[in-house]
Amino acid sequence: MTDSTPQPLNVGLVGYGFMGAAHSHAWRTAHRFFDLPLTPVLHTIAGRTESAVAAAAQQYGFAQHTTRWQDLIEDPEIHVIDICTPGDTHHEIALAALAAGKHVLCEKPLANSVEESAEMAAAAAEAAQRGIRSICGFSYRRTPALAYARQLVEEGFVGEILQVRAQYLQDWLADADAPMTWRLDREKAGSGALGDIGAHVIDLLQWLSGEDIVAVSGTLETVVPTRPAAGAMQGLGGKGDTSGERQQVTVDDTALFSVRLENGVLGAVEATRMAQGRKNAMRVEINGSTGSVAFDFERMNELEIYDATAPAGRQGFTRVLATEPEHPYAAAWWPTGHGLGYEHTFTHEVVDLVRAIGEGTDPSPSFAEALHVQRVLAAVEASDADGSRWTPVGPQTPTTQETSA
């Protein structure tokens, strides 16, 4: 009788913030809801501060913890390195992990520059020849409704794509006294809304349409140039010390840009953390000759579809509840209509990575795909730097009251 128990897949995770928590939940749940060829084990978590990483190990369920990420690379028992730290550390950790023969899950954006991303993509391609798998954490692709939207586009439901648009609207920085955080420091984060949330919708537009973005024209804006030093709260939201000095924000709060897809289609993209009232409104819409698909993450279990081939009297956007067995990933969870959450997209990301490792295939999005997202980010920054070719509208034409005064 052969033992069919799946072998353990020991995970070393770097970072214990928001993404560390989300990824840990994914590693804990993936094999409990999906049949996997390997069983993830929360082996060791690494973080800079002994007390914080010890607490995270306890809270997230890791057997061990360390303040040196290098310990994970050097531990022969660890099979996967999961990078959940700010973008300025991705390059060093990923290159070391791939060289050591560890599979890698790296949060988005891949790195803080095209140069770093290109080196990571080259290292990942070389490692794949040695059976080492790597994936970049564009987790929204694994929202059932969005994965279903991609199926519809691939099947030709929308017909010829005519136009695309995407928004990623948050408001956790709309308060000018929201404190400084690493996400507002270019050295740590690489960019602001553009790379943090804009990267998600850039990836989604390319993935859903099947077309790379080949040109952009854009503008970046830092709406609030200084902020109070970080108080008790770090990260998203919370109040800083408003009595003390204010520190310089070195990234964008808002990014607005047009995109040209490889097939010539035009699109509009907006990413902002100033959209008062919009908490995590990540929206994407694909308009085609025979139909449209539209998604809003704040209603993440729903996909709106428009069938332009339906009889005229019955045409209109239909709200599809993406909780049927026919919808990607949905069958593993609850009966129809019960819905999933943000955290499930990370579980699905882990499921696809573990299956790829077990089957010896390369998961998507690859580092090469993530490198192209990085190129789009850099192109938007370059477009903004050249003044975005703003055309002044010209002097206001006086109203009749003004002329008669």
**Residues in touch with ligand SOE (CB under 6 A):** 18, 170, 196-197, 236
| Contact (Cβ atoms closer than 8 angstroms) between residue 131 and residue 384 | no
**96 is written with which tokens?**
């070391």
Q: With b meaning 16 or more CB within 10 Å and e meaning fewer, what string describes 141-164?
A: bbbbbbbbbbebbeeebbeebeeb
Tokens 């999961």, located at residue: 82
What are the Cα distances from residue 267, in Å, to 56, 165, 209, 213, 332?
42, 5, 11, 9, 35
Quote the least distance from Cβ 23 to ligand SOE, whole Å: 12
Shorter beta-carbon distance to ligand SOE: residue 47 or 86: 86
Residue 78 or 173: the one with the smaller Cβ distance to ligand SOE is 173
Q: How far is the CB of 24 from ligand SOE (least distance, A)?
A: 15
Closer residue to ligand SOE (CB): 123 or 173: 173
Q: How far is the CB of 170 from ligand SOE (least distance, A)?
A: 6
Question: CB-wise, 170 or 374, nearer to ligand SOE?
Answer: 170
Side by side, which strands form the sheet with 103-107?
64-66, 38-46, 7-14, 80-83, 103-107, 134-137
Which residue is closest to ligand SOE by CB?
196
CA-to-CA dists, residue 94 to 74, 173, 187, angstroms: 13, 30, 18
What's the closest the beta carbon of residue 389 comes to ligand SOE, in angstroms? Answer: 29
Provide the token pair at 99: 């060289």
What CA–CA distance (Å, rounded) separates 282 from 286? Answer: 14
Question: Among residues 44 and 170, whose Cβ is nearest to ligand SOE?
Answer: 170
CB nearer to ligand SOE: give 196 or 381: 196
Shortest distance, position 15 Cβ to ligand SOE, whole Å? 12
Question: In the complex, what is the shortest distance from the CB of residue 118 to ligand SOE, in angstroms, rounded to a whole number?
Answer: 22
Q: How far is the CB of 196 from ligand SOE (least distance, A)?
A: 5
Q: Is the peptide bond before 365 cis (omega within 30 degrees of 0)?
A: yes
Return the number of other C-beta atoms located less than 10 Å from residue 37's C-beta.
15
Nearer to ligand SOE, 18 or 317 (CB): 18
H helices of 129-280, in order, are 144-154, 186-189, 193, 199-209
How far apart CA 194 and CA 205 sit, in angstroms, is: 15
Contact predicate 65/47, CB 8 Å: yes
Indicate the residue among 60 and 346 with the shorter CB distance to ligand SOE. 346
Please state, in angstroms and rounded to a whole number, the distance separating the CA atoms of residues 189 and 107. 12
393: helix, coil or strand? coil
Q: CB of 195: closest distance to ligand SOE in angstroms? A: 9
CB of 84 to ligand SOE, least distance (A): 11
Q: Are 151 and 328 in contact (CB under 8 A)?
A: yes
- Decide whether 168 or 306 has the Cβ nearer to ligand SOE: 168
